Amino acid sequence: MASEALVPEFKLDRLLNQDQGGRRVTLLGSIGDKPTLLTAERAAFPSDIKTLEAFHRNLADVKNLGTNDIYHWYLGSVGHGEDSPPDFKLNLISPCTEKHIKKYSPQGVRMVTETPEIYKNQIRPYIAKQREEGRLDWVFNILEGRKEQEDIIFRNPGQDGAKEEAFLLAPDLNWDRKTLTSLHLLALVERRDLWSLRDLKKSHIVWLKHMREKVVEATVKKYPEIDHDQLKLYMHYQPTFYHLHIHVVHVMLEPTSTQAIGKAFGLENIISQLESLSGGEDAGMDDVSLTYTLGESHDLWTGVFQPLKEGRKG
């Protein structure tokens, strides 16, 4: 039998494995009386404009999953029948900003070390400016009940109604809402004085442990196929947006640069570091040096760390 004729003869028995966030599957079946494995993986996108334009024209069965401020996300297919599963998870940002364009453009990456002094004198003022530019409207839409309320998995009002301990759990916009091995949720705190992990103090340890417990508990209750030890919790630094939040992902989620050392800081490690700090309850993550990665197009590289490297004033 010619090689090209083998695939149509394949008879599926069962799904053996699924990885790459659902983009690759390994199927167990047979051809004739011979046990057979078939692995299918989505091909890479072409880079020429004409082919990409054709891809866009052929998008069909686009289903909106949600909309919040300038962010929209969908499932879509290309050239299939109504019963076919969607081919693509689509994220739309409109209108996008120059910062979005920089974020999604290819760029080199640098390792930087941020001392407490650099944080206080240069990074903290930068963060404050970002927060003043309305970049958190989509977060406040969720927290204040204007958007995505049907997607909220869990809302915790805080122990004994303590508003400063309240948080909610919802799907991350990059998750397709169905592939459990690529599960990605966000726990958003409701208080607005915590901008990033830099704002965490020893006084927050009990709250962080309580939040970790409740987040894991709510996740495995919502998705009983997942065990508590199949979840990974972390924070980004620098984060994409400056309102304290925790990423909750399945341990089998394909590692990307956003989960790499120098970008993702495990919640357990943050708690442990806070516990090991000397000093009173006000001692915190703003007292330590942090080493992390920055893209070469990031404002903090061009405006702070590159000038420091070159001996110029940032």
Instruction: Please list the helix, strand and coil fractions of the chain in percent, rounded to the nearest 5, in that order.
Output: 35, 30, 35
Sequence-separated (6 or more) residues with CB below 8 Å from residue 180: 223, 225, 226, 250
Return the structure tokens found at 266: 């495990």
> Tell me, what DSSP letter sits at residue 264?
E
DSSP character string of 217-235: HHHHHH-TTS-GGGEEEEE
Beta bridge mates, 25? 18, 40
> Tell me, what DSSP letter sits at residue 122?
I
> Which residue among the candidates 245, 247, 250, 298 is catalytic per the annotation?
245
110 touches 298 (CB < 8 A): no
184 noted as active-site residue: no
Residues annotated catalytic, as ranges: 245
